[in-house]
Structure 1
Amino acid sequence: MNIGEIAKRAGVSRSTVSYALTGKRPVSEETKRRILTVIDELGYRPNASARALKEGRTRTIGLVIPPASQRLTDMQLGFVASVVDAAARADLDVLLSPSGGEHERSFERVVTGRRVDGVILMEIRLEDDRVARLQGLGLPFVGIGRTRHPEGMSWVDIDYETLIARCVHHLADLGHRRLALINRSAELVAAGYGPGHRAQAGFDRAIAERGLRGVRVCCADDAQAGQACLQQLLAEHPGLTAVATINEAAVSGMYRGLAEAGLSVPGDFSIAGVAAQRWAESLHPPLTAADVPADELGARAVELLIQRVADPGTPQRHLLLAPPISLRATTGPARPRD
């Protein structure tokens, strides 16, 4: 059913129906009642543009995700799904937009084209031009992640520094003295990817506190890279007995690398990390990990954004989570290998 049919049944012009829906021009109360009666009888629902004009809102939020050229990790997919689910519960639509490199025009269209009421940013860098851009535009936004100076924005995040430090302490308690941190890709870390830098800081701090020997490496987000990374670590550091990691997508490859070296998990080698719970539990053996509550983070990000859209002057809010480590089947007492 379209506006033309409504106009015909109400005995008014199409423009009058449009004005009644959008409030763009005054329409007499009697005419408006007649139009609304026809709309109720026909079950007509104004399109999104008409609702936006009437309400001053689009009822759509933007979710800025990593570039389409990158395969999203299970954790990232969890964030996307939880944001979409929480938005749906609030009767909001979600417009997905990749950012980075050739996708910057997509980001600009989303934030400058009145297409969304606010934005949720993923994969935030320590110094992030997107954050500065949104602050300059005055468009409400919330980060899943935070910058180096996070006070000027609302955000939810995982405390990677604390969690990787806990992984190191857990492994040290099991007698492991030589450990490695397997981070995300070198490109991400070089670009200022926050979790990568905070994981390094937590690893270095815990290694120093426990008097351990540690090595840090970067690894692409896939199983093949994880296998190659583990093989290289074993070749260059033969006394290594454990790994801490935030690279969940590479873990299954690490398992293969250990198996090819004739090492069992956790009998000969231990692995602990930060990962999505479903992913950690689906691995064989299940990964000892701090389980990232992606559902909660996505829902809280939507909640904070709704608050900022309703009242842009509301104080910035921050949520930093450090979930406990779930002990599964990939960590055990150290067995010296040198």
Structure 2
Amino acid sequence: MNTDAAAETPPNGRTRTIGLVFPPAGDHYTETQMEFIGRVAEAAQQHDYDVLLTTGREVDDQPFQRMLTGHRVDGLILMEIRLEDARATHLIELGFPFVTIGQSGLEKTWWVDMDWVALGRACVRHLADLGHRRIAFVNRSEEFFQAGYESAHRGLEGFNQGVAELGLTGRGYHCGDDEAEGEACLERILLEEPATTALVTLNEASLGGVYRGLTRAGRVVPRDFSVVGLVSGPWVETVTPPLTAADEPIDEISRVAVELMLERLDSPGASPRHVVLRSLISIRSSTGSCPSGPDSEF
């Protein structure tokens, strides 16, 4: 018997490694994405598992395909999920175990996700309670939206629902994932809808530019203009004043994703499980009363 070979054989045929397929936002990982990577790794280590990180936005991307060969990992956690995610469909066809952080819309997937629709509605209601009647929504880029990224669609859905329910005026804008794009988006909002007194943002990377654009326009947050984010992430304290937003439960999302992955591995025939996490908005200093009444021009 070759004892060295036996020692290298993983128990139960497992590698004790989980693959994390996480394409960066644009050309680089954001702070929130980096925190997710760290938290998933920490959660896996609690169960004596390692995490192998790779990119892979499309099924044919080599980083994604390499994860599926050579028995490198026991299962995959997919992130940056689309409403119709070809990666998830491909894995279902292969019978390869996976979990998504985000809802792909496929019945056979196991997933954990934020309730983006409820968050969008809650942000609108918070601003309406402060007297704001004209509100903008700063979404991800046109490219990401058209590609079907589910948080961009579900967040906008919640925003539109809130606006309609409360009889407000609201408009969505696409914005690239950097500060220059954020500043340009804010300028566009004030040019096209000058009576806008508040915005809801889903775009963390552009937030600094949004604030800078408001300063250049002579609008003080929150005296003249309110800003609320769907989720805060690690960047909430990097802007002044700090952003009113729900606290994104990154630790809980990561922990649940790993636990679902291990549950799938231990019970291959189990029915898919879905976990929806809901967060309350934390009121900080970026939102205040509408400055001069609901329909006034600035």
TM-score (ref. length: structure 1): 0.83
Whether 1:16 and 2:10 are equivalent positions in the alignment is no
Q: Output the amino acid matched with 1:97.
A: T
Q: 87, 91, 107: which is aligned to 2:64?
A: 107
TM-score (ref. length: structure 2): 0.94
1-structure distance, mates of 2:197, 2:214: 11
Residue 83 of structure 2 is matched in structure 1 by: 126
1-structure distance, mates of 2:157, 2:25: 29
2-structure distance, mates of 1:199, 1:322: 13
1-structure distance, mates of 2:157, 2:230: 15
How far is the alpha carbon of 1:317 from its aligned partner?
A: 1.1
Gaps of 5+ in 2: none
Residue 75 of structure 1 is matched in structure 2 by: 32
Q: Deviations over 1:147-204 (max 9, x none)?
A: 124x311111011111011000100110000000000111110000000110111111
Q: Deviations over 1:240-269 (max 9, x none)?
A: 000001111111111000000000000000
Residue 165 of structure 2 is matched in structure 1 by: 209
Please report the RMSD computed on the Cα atoms of aligned residues, expressed in angstroms.
1.6
Q: 126, 140, 146: which is aligned to 2:103?
A: 146
Contact 1:164 1:245 in 2 (8 A): no
Gaps of 5+ in 1: 1-14, 23-45
SS of residue matched to 1:112: coil
Q: Output the amino acid matched with 2:270.
A: T
Whether 1:305 and 2:261 are equivalent positions in the alignment is yes
1-structure distance, mates of 2:139, 2:178: 12
In the TM superposition, what are the counterparts of 1:187-336 in structure 2 within 5 Å? 187-336=143-292
Residue 94 of structure 2 is matched in structure 1 by: 137
Contact 1:154 1:304 in 2 (8 A): yes
SS of residue matched to 1:292: coil
| Structure possessing the higher relative contact order (Cα contacts under 8 Å, 6 or more residues apart) | 2
Contact 2:222 2:285 in 1 (8 A): yes
Contact 2:40 2:258 in 1 (8 A): yes
SS of residue matched to 1:167: helix
2-structure distance, mates of 1:254, 1:161: 23
Q: Output the amino acid matched with 1:88.
A: Q
How far is the alpha carbon of 1:64 from its aligned partner?
A: 0.1
Identity of aligned residues (%): 47
How far is the alpha carbon of 1:70 from its aligned partner?
A: 2.7
Whether 1:51 and 2:51 are equivalent positions in the alignment is no
Question: Going by fraction, where is helix more abundant, 1 or 2?
Answer: 1
How far is the alpha carbon of 1:312 from its aligned partner?
A: 0.9
1-structure distance, mates of 2:109, 2:118: 22
How far is the alpha carbon of 1:144 from its aligned partner?
A: 0.4
Q: Output the amino acid matched with 2:30.
A: T
Q: 88, 94, 118: which is aligned to 1:162?
A: 118
Q: Quick one: structure 1 residues 251 and 67, their matched pair in 2 at CA, closer, same or farther if it must change by over 3 Å?
A: closer
How far is the alpha carbon of 1:100 from its aligned partner?
A: 2.1
Q: Quick one: structure 1 residues 255 and 81, their matched pair in 2 at CA, closer, same or farther if it must change by over 3 Å?
A: same
2-structure distance, mates of 1:305, 1:162: 26
How far is the alpha carbon of 1:69 from its aligned partner?
A: 5.5
2-structure distance, mates of 1:223, 1:135: 38
Q: Output the amino acid matched with 2:102.
A: G
How far is the alpha carbon of 1:238 from its aligned partner?
A: 0.7
Count of paired positions: 294
Q: Deviations over 1:249-296 (max 9, x none)?
A: 111111000000000000000000123443213321110001111111
How far is the alpha carbon of 1:101 from its aligned partner?
A: 5.4
Larger Rg: 1
